[in-house]
Amino acid sequence: MRESTEESRAIRALHEFRREVARTPAAKLDCLELERRALDVLKEVGCELMREVLERADTEDPEITIDGARWGNRRRSKCTYTTVFGDVEMERSTYQQAGRGRVAVPLELRLGMVEGRYTPQMARVMTRAAGLMTAPEASEFLAEVGIAQVSVSTLHRAPRAIAARYETMREQIERDLRASDVVPDEARTVQVSLDGVMVPQDSENARPRGRKTEDPDPPRHEQRYGVVGTEGPATSDGLEGRAWHEASVGTLAFYGASGKHLRTIYRAQMPQGGKAQLVVDLEAELRAVIEERPELSICFASDGAPQHWTILESMQERIPRTFHGIVTYLLDFFHAAEYVQLAANAACGAETPEADVLATNWRETLKLFGDGATRVLKSMRYQRDRMTASARDEIEEAISYLANQARHDRMRYAEALLLHYPIGTGVTEAAAKTIVGVRMKRAGARFSQHGGQTVMLFRAAILSDRFDALSEILEHTYTASLKAA
């Protein structure tokens, strides 16, 4: 092991700590204080060890090749790298190609240092934090658990830069991510669904955040990667001052032969016309599933929103010919039940025992009989015809809604239950709450288009159990093949 002043100090501190503990009477041991001090000592040792890793990855060759291209003009420069133990300051080699221009740093390319500053593990800590909590919460939490102290501004900036890199390589990264995923062996059905959810955003009248200047510099991720993603809706929706816009979530939920939920792939997208990117992502996920398991049954499910059904039906029309499973359309049963209750209230009076009994009878009819929708609609029309003309509006609304869904063959609940298909879209409704509601709808919160997409990217990956795979793919984009010339 290479000897250095830093190493000697760290090792001496470790030995001194152990001697101090040995000298302290058992009755006077302060566990909280000692644990914190032990962590400080270990972080110092960790920084020393990571310095050795970084120095080992460096090179002193006068010329090198990176992905086959020759680089020279070697120089030494100081830099600070952030590890989970803390910052490590050191000198490293840099190279340039003929004609100078941009600089290449061998140790960063060998180790996959993220954004030229963070170890892959530190980058994972920050991006996971971005998906789970606000930057101030993350900074306090990391300090409490003893991870390297990271500022709030860094916890804002670094995940956005990594997400911007993802956007510039989205197509390839998504292909690699789907290729790394595996459909559960027990899966027999996949439910495909999508929904809208409101997110707080910057509006035209929102005061600018950050440093007060008339001519602010672009965010650092834009300086490196350019503008990524789409513009926020506030620039073109014609609704000046509106600060809430509809984002979208989509899910592919897998179910076993008995109807047991196995896992879910989550997708989410900040507000965008026609849910364009979400539709592309959701369909790509479905195609990958079909390629792996062409025999799975597909259940397209949603509420009654015409836009959602237009999207799902067009998706079904483009299913690859290799698919040989069963396709089913289902209106979310909860939405159907809402209109059933509306009709029962209109027929018997709101919040009456008679209305509750009638609604329960209709709901059970839908689930027990193959022609349940026909039976319920017939009964509703009978109730309607007994009412005065002025009292028919609410029951007519329910009849119209349910008749339209039945006409499109979306209410075959008895058959779906017999085949153990899911008849509700609770997974998708939960996605709107867990991805957006829990994380993004905080008091005073508002998100730029890219800032919100950064949260959605990493939060959806965590919920889909894809975070490690996504991180590994992203980290690989920071590496290169490097040899001495």
Q: Are 85 and 125 in contact (CB under 8 A)?
A: no
Same domain, yes or no: 307 and 231: yes
Same domain, yes or no: 300 and 437: yes
CA angle, 321 as apex, 320 and 322 as ends, to 5°? 90
The end-to-end CA distance of the chain, in Å, is 28
Q: What is the pLDDT of residue 101?
A: 80
| Same domain (yes/no): 122, 165 | yes
Tens-digit pLDDT profile for residues 381-426? 999 999 888 789 999 999 999 999 999 999 999 999 999 999 999 9
For the chain, how many residues are written? 485
Q: Give the span between the Cα atoms of 144 and 136, in whole angstroms.
A: 12
Do the strands 64-66 and 69-83 form a parallel or antiparallel pair, or are they unpaired?
antiparallel
The domain of 80 spans 60-181+466-485
Q: Measuring CA to CA, which residue among 439, 435, 341, 445 is closest to residue 395?
A: 341
Could you tell me if 411 and 483 lie in one domain?
A: no
Q: Kindly give the interhelix angle for 152-168 and 449-463, rounded to the nearest 10 degrees.
A: 80
Pairing verdict, β 327-331 and 86-97: unpaired
- With a CB cutoff of 8 Å and minimum separation 6, the contacts of 176 are 473
What does residue 94 show for φ and ψ, rounded to 5 degrees?
-130, 155
- Flag whether pLDDT at 164 surpasses 90: yes
- Assign 317 a pLDDT band (cuts: 50, 70, 90): very high
**Domain end residue (candidates: 26, 41, 57):** 57
220-to-116, 188, 364, 442 alpha-carbon distances in Å: 13, 46, 58, 25
Closest of 331, 329, 323 to residue 296, by C-alpha: 323
28 and 81 housed in the same domain: no
Write the CA distances from 162 to 112, 155, 459, integer angstroms: 13, 11, 14
C-alpha–C-alpha distance, residues 53 and 307, integer Å: 54
Is residue 316 a contact partner of residue 300, using CB atoms and an 8 Å limit? yes
**Residues 305 and 217 reside in one and the same domain:** yes
- CA 193 – CA 332 distance, rounded (Å): 10
Provide the phi-psi class of 154: left if phi over 0, else alpha when psi is between -120 and 50, else beta: alpha
CA 443 to chain CA mean position, Å: 21
Query: How far apart are the C-alpha atoms of 46 and 54, rounded to whole Å?
Result: 12
Do 375 and 235 share a domain, yes or no? no
29/165 same-domain check = no
Average pLDDT, the chain: 92
DSSP conformational letter for 310 = H
Say if CB 406 and CB 365 are below 8 A apart.
no
The residues, ordered by sequence, that sit 6+ positions from 192 with a Cβ below 8 Å of its Cβ are 250, 251, 252, 282, 286, 298, 299, 300, 301, 312, 315
Residue range 419-467, pLDDT digits in tens: 999 999 999 999 999 999 999 999 888 899 999 999 999 999 999 999 9
Task: Give dist(CA 107, CA 444) in Å, integer.
Answer: 42
Per-residue DSSP letter, 148: P
Q: Are residues 386 and 449 in the same domain?
A: no
- Indicate the burial class of 215 (C-beta count within 10 angstroms; 0-12, 13-18, 19 or more): exposed
Two tokens, residue 80: 């600070």
Alpha helices in 369-466 (DSSP H): 372-385, 393-407, 413-418, 426-431, 438-440, 449-463
Instruction: Find tokens 């100090």 and name the residue.
Output: 9
Mean pLDDT, rounded, for 120-144: 96
State residue 1's pLDDT score.
43
Separation between Cα atoms, residue 380 and residue 365, nearest integer Å:
12
Query: Quick one: pLDDT at residue 158?
Result: 97
Q: Residues 334-367, buried b or exposed e (16+ Cβ, 10 A)?
A: ebbbbbbbbbbbbbbeeeeeebeebbeebbebbe
Q: What is the pTM of this model?
A: 0.91
Range 192-209 average pLDDT: 79
**pLDDT of 214 strictly over 70:** no
- Name the burial class of residue 28, with classes exposed (0-12), middle (13-18) and buried (19+) by CB atoms within 10 angstroms of its CB: exposed
Q: What are phi and psi of 194, to 5 degrees?
A: -150, 160
Return the pLDDT at 205. Answer: 58
Same domain, 313 and 435: yes
Distance CA 121, CA 110 (A): 15
Residues 64 and 142 in one domain: yes
- C-alpha–C-alpha distance, residues 244 and 246, integer Å: 7
Confidence band for 220, pLDDT divided at 50, 70 and 90: confident
Q: How many domains does the chain have?
A: 4
Q: How far is the C-alpha of 426 from the C-alpha of 221, rounded, in Å?
A: 36
Q: CB neighbours of 186 closer than 8 A, spacing ≥ 6?
A: 256, 257, 260, 262
Q: How far is CA 227 from the centre of its chain?
A: 20
Residue 115 main-chain phi, psi, to 5 deg? 55, 30
Residue type, 321: R
Q: Choose the weakest-confidence range: 72-76, 146-150, 263-267, 300-304.
A: 146-150
Q: Is 212 a residue whose pLDDT tops 90?
A: no
Residue 472 DSSP SS3: helix
Phi and psi angles of residue 461, each rounded to the nearest 5 degrees, phi first = -65, -40
Average pLDDT over residues 291-312: 95
Is the domain of 261 the same as that of 208? yes
pLDDT tens track for 238-270: 666 678 899 999 999 999 999 999 999 999 999
